[in-house]
Amino acid sequence: MSILDIDDVERLKRINDALINRVERAMDQQRNAFSLFQTAIALEGQVRQRTDELTSTLRNLEKTNAELARQKEISERADQSKTRFLAAASHDVLQPLHAAQLTMSALYDLQESERGRAMVMQVERSLDTMNELLHTLLDISRLDAGVMVPDHTAVPLAPVVESLLSDLRPIAEAKGLRLQTSITGDHVRSDRTMLRRALQNLISNAIRYTDRGGVLIGTRRRGNMVAIEVVDTGCGIPLDQRELIFDEFHRGPVAKGRASRDDDCALGLGLSIVRRLVTALGHDLSLTSEVGKGSRFRILAERCEPPSVGEIRPQAAQRPANDATLSGRRVLLLENDIEVTRAMSTLLDGWGCEHRIAASHAEAEEVLNEGFVPDLIIADQHLDHGDHGTQTVAALARRLRRRVPAILATADISEPVMRDAASLGAEFMAKPVKPAQLRALMAHMLAAAP
């Protein structure tokens, strides 16, 4: 039926309304579709803009990170260069101090008045303080530079502690303190030199901050571990200070009875290096303390069996005091530092020794060619032309066809050098050397020589 055949007006209106609604819906759909299309285009533009902004930001961030990484690498290289320089330069750093201490000892012998001797002793005490600080700073540099690497062996605790007591007991007795031990016969897996250094700093620190009572060094078994403890009756450490004391340059309060720190020149580096050493060794370090009653520092190390006979490393002999005369004894000094040779020559002359000086292996051979046969050799490790004192001493012994008593006096305290000295049967003394100890050791070795 055609719409023209419909004569019902109302029906035609309804049909017209329906058609109009259909058209309007179609137009609305088109408008909605167009609106969605426009919205999509707008969103796409915004996404593209945000993407461009994000890409630009990421590129800038990458450049910034690259620059930061470059600056960090430069800083790390500079820091490593500094620490490696200090670690490697220990010989050159300590040589002038060694020469100064030798010279002051010779100067003391020349003084005729008590005032003059007192002034010399005051300078010597300052040099001793400088020596201790330099050794501590160099140890920190070696650890930070990674050149001080533990050589883990079975370390007997008793001889390590006894050697420390021989050095530190006079300091404790001067303050009226008791220095006691309670040591088991255990061995621990550690590096002997590094462990000794850590204990030395702990004991020295305990003596410094204790005014009455004393210090106890003891060991206890804890299963398969050994606890090495340093206990003092000092002023104690407040709870809020127990982490700070391990920081560089942190110093505890002035002990009672002291008006100032004139007699305490430490910079607060001792406990800092203890933590570094113990960490490098793989041991545990702990602290308990009570203010006004004292402190207990504990190093926990793995217990191990003693080495077999074939594994025992030769150790330097104990250095007993001996007042035997050195007059007329022939000494060959292997040393290439001019200031040290001058100071040593003055000392040897004062002790009545006949001596010759050589700065290299070749010069030492020339001294022997001149007919000078030494009764004793004092050698530095690092000589001219890259020569080593241990090798030169060994070569001279082969030429003389006998072992000559020898002292290796050097600032190189590395484990290989100490092993080389021990294998030669030579005594090892770390620079700067105390003249009184050197003289006593020389006299003892010459008296014991066949």
The enclosing domain of 365 has a CATH number of 3.40.50.2300
395 sits in the region (left: phi over 0; alpha: psi -120 to 50; else beta) called: alpha
| pLDDT, tens digit (0-9, with 9 covering 90-100), for 407-450 | 999 888 777 888 899 999 999 988 888 888 898 889 989 888 77
CATH number at residue 157: 3.30.565.10
pLDDT score at 231: 94
Residues 197 and 260 in one domain: yes
338 shares a domain with 246:
no
Query: Which residues, at least 6 apart from 365, have a Cβ–Cβ distance to it below 8 Å?
Result: 396, 399
Specify if 384 maps to a domain: yes
Distance CA 294, CA 282 (A): 26
381 and 237 assigned to the same domain: no
Instruction: Please give the pLDDT value at position 257.
Output: 42
Give the mean model confidence (pLDDT) for residues 296-324: 64
User: Using one digit for the tens of pLDDT, what is the confidence trace for 121-131?
Assistant: 778 777 776 77
Q: Say whether both 250 and 156 belong to one domain.
A: yes
Domain annotation covers residue 239: yes
Q: Are residues 344 and 429 in the same domain?
A: yes
287 lies in the same domain as 337: no
Whether pLDDT at 406 is above 90 = yes
φ/ψ (deg, to 5) at 2: -85, 150
Q: What pLDDT sits at residue 43?
A: 75
Identify whether 107 is part of a domain: no
Where does a domain end: 64, 85, 106?
A: 85
pLDDT for 135 beyond 90: no
Q: How confident is the model at residue 218 (pLDDT cuts 50, 70, 90)?
A: very high
- Residue 1 has a pLDDT of 53
**Statement to judge: residues 234 and 279 lie in one domain:** yes
pLDDT value for 219:
93
Q: What is the pLDDT of residue 263?
A: 41
Same domain, 273 and 178: yes
Same domain? 176 vs 303: yes
Q: Report which of 232, 260, 224, 266 is spatially closest to residue 248, judged by C-alpha positions.
A: 266
Instruction: Determine the average pLDDT of the residues in 113-121.
Output: 82
Chain segment 261-279, per-residue pLDDT in tens: 434 334 445 687 888 889 8
- 72 and 11 in a single domain? The answer is yes
Residue 320 has pLDDT above 50, yes or no: no
* Torsion, CA 196, CA 198, CA 203, CA 204, rounded to 10: 100
pLDDT on residue 155: 92
> Do both 195 and 241 map to the same domain?
yes
With cut-offs at 50, 70 and 90, classify the pLDDT of residue 310: very low
Q: Is residue 330 pLDDT above 90, yes or no?
A: yes
pLDDT grade, residue 187 (50/70/90)?
A: very high
pLDDT at 215 (0 to 100): 94
For residue 189, being part of any structural domain is answered with yes
Q: How far apart are CA 84 and CA 77, in angstroms?
A: 10
Domain assignment present for residue 411? The answer is yes
Q: How far apart, in Å, are the Cα atoms of 51 and each of 19, 66, 110, 235? A: 47, 22, 86, 65
Higher pLDDT, 317 or 112: 112
Which one is predicted more confidently, 307 or 177? Answer: 177
Q: Identify whether 405 is part of a domain.
A: yes
Instruction: Give the orientation angle of helix 90-110 with respect to helix 114-145, to 10 degrees.
Output: 170
Task: Count up the domains in the chain and report the number.
Answer: 3
**Choice between 126 and 197, residue whose per-residue pLDDT is larger:** 197
Q: What is the mean pLDDT of the chain?
A: 80
- Please check whether residues 161 and 269 belong to one and the same domain: yes
Considering only residues 254 and 343, tell me which one the structure prediction assigns the higher pLDDT. Answer: 343
117-124 long-range CB contacts below 8 Å, 24 or more apart? Answer: none
Segment 50-63 mean pLDDT: 86
Question: Domain range spanning residue 188?
Answer: 152-308
Q: Is residue 200 part of a domain?
A: yes
| pLDDT for residue 58 is more than 60 | yes
Residue 320 lies in a domain: no
Boundary of a domain, candidates 67, 85, 103: 85
